[in-house]
């Protein structure tokens, strides 16, 4: 699913037809050797490529104190890393946490370093294993037993797979815009959106929805068409995020970095939906993995989310057995983050998760 500024989505949809050709690793920083804590309370601002899953993957680490708990952000998309926007969205958290962003295989800086051919597949299992390797590497490199696992949208799918596969790596899981399943989510999302569009008398949007029809879809463009309408209708009833959030940090604002970000969007989007509706998303069914978690589970959901609707997330949450769990639903939030979401996530971290961490 998508957690990216609307302009980036429009660019993705217009450039979907362009092929992602195989290419050698692009220029950029050498694999980083400077990660870690030289002193116990060192301030951290480290970034570079780390050998993960047989390729070099981009990792950034920021925080005021090396002894602080680590949050591993599992981004959405799957081609939309948060690393370019992290300072604007989450910079205030660095006083209490060490913030780690990882550009997943096929996304962002990692895509630029290892450009795959369009025919090179991505799988949830491969990305899950990459994420677990990142988590284990963080614990070893920074001398911490566990990390906090954070996932949003597509990242909420991947993070649940990670949490269930190797719970010993994590203190807790914090999910936002929680996706539950291909059929479970779309069976609710599409008719709810169509009803809103019909009630609004929005003839052009209704024509688009009726043109693509009810899911599942076999045309990869259908998901993007519906997503654009979702964004527009969520915007009517949610508090907008500051525009400044979506200005990339200088490291990510170069022509090459922007091209790599957009190339990763195209590639990962097609891997997500599939050319005939048979991409990674078609395999998602989190309840089938089991609903017993060995770690605490916390959800922050937008009441106005039309893509991963909160009623589906609530049913999944209710089915979960965990050492501790809590959910909050925000009245003025949708699928993408706004200040309400950021504040609620921080509150959950400070009040529910920090007390669980062994110092």
**pLDDT digit string, tens, across residues 41-95:** 999 999 999 999 999 999 999 999 999 999 999 999 999 999 999 999 999 999 9
CA distances (Å), origin 187, targets 78, 226, 301: 21, 14, 18
DSSP 227-274: HHHHHHHHHTTSPPPPGGGGS--GGG-SHHHHHHHHHHHHHHHHHHH-
Share of the chain above pLDDT 90, in %: 89
Do 351 and 328 form a contact (C-beta atoms < 8 A)? no
**pLDDT digit string, tens, across residues 247-264:** 999 999 999 999 999 999
Number of H helices, E strands in the chain: 11, 8
Higher pLDDT, 242 or 24: 242
**pLDDT digit string, tens, across residues 144-203:** 999 999 999 999 999 999 999 999 999 999 999 999 999 999 999 999 999 999 999 999
């Amino acid at each position: 699913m998508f957690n990216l500024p609307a302009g980036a989505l429009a660019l993705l949809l217009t450039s979907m037809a362009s092929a992602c050709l195989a290419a050698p690793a692009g220029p950029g920083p050498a694999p980083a050797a400077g990660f870690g804590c030289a002193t116990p309370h060192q301030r951290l601002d480290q970034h570079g490529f780390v050998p993960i899953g047989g390729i070099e993957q981009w990792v950034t680490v920021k925080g005021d104190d090396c002894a602080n708990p680590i949050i591993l952000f599992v981004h959405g998309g799957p081609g939309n890393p948060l690393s370019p926007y992290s300072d604007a969205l989450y910079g205030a958290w660095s006083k209490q946490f060490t913030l780690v962003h990882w550009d997943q295989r096929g996304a962002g800086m990692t895509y630029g370093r290892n450009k795959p051919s369009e025919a090179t597949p991505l799988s949830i299992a491969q990305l899950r294993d990459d994420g677990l390797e990142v988590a284990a590497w963080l614990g070893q490199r920074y001398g911490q037993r566990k990390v906090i696992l954070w996932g949003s949208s597509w990242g909420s799918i991947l993070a649940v797979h990670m949490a269930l596969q190797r719970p010993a790596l994590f203190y807790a899981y914090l999910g936002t815009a929680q996706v539950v399943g291909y059929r479970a989510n779309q069976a609710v999302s599409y008719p709810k959106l169509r009803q809103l569009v019909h009630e609004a008398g929005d003839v052009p949007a209704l024509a688009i929805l009726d043109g693509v029809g009810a899911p599942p879809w076999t045309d990869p463009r259908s998901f993007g068409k519906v997503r654009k309408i979702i964004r527009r209708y969520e915007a009517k009833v949610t508090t907008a995020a500051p525009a400044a959030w979506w200005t990339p940090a200088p490291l990510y604002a170069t022509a090459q970095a922007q091209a790599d970000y957009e190339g990763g969007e195209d590639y990962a989007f097609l891997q997500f939906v599939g050319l005939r509706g048979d991409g990674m998303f078609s395999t998602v069914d989190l309840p089938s993995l089991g609903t017993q978690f060995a770690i605490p589970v916390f959800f922050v959901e937008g009441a106005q989310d039309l893509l991963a609707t909160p009623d589906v997330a609530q049913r999944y949450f209710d089915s979960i057995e965990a050492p501790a769990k809590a959910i909050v639903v925000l009245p003025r939030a949708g699928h993408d983050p706004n200040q309400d979401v950021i504040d609620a996530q921080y509150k959950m971290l400070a009040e529910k998760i920090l007390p669980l961490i062994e110092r």
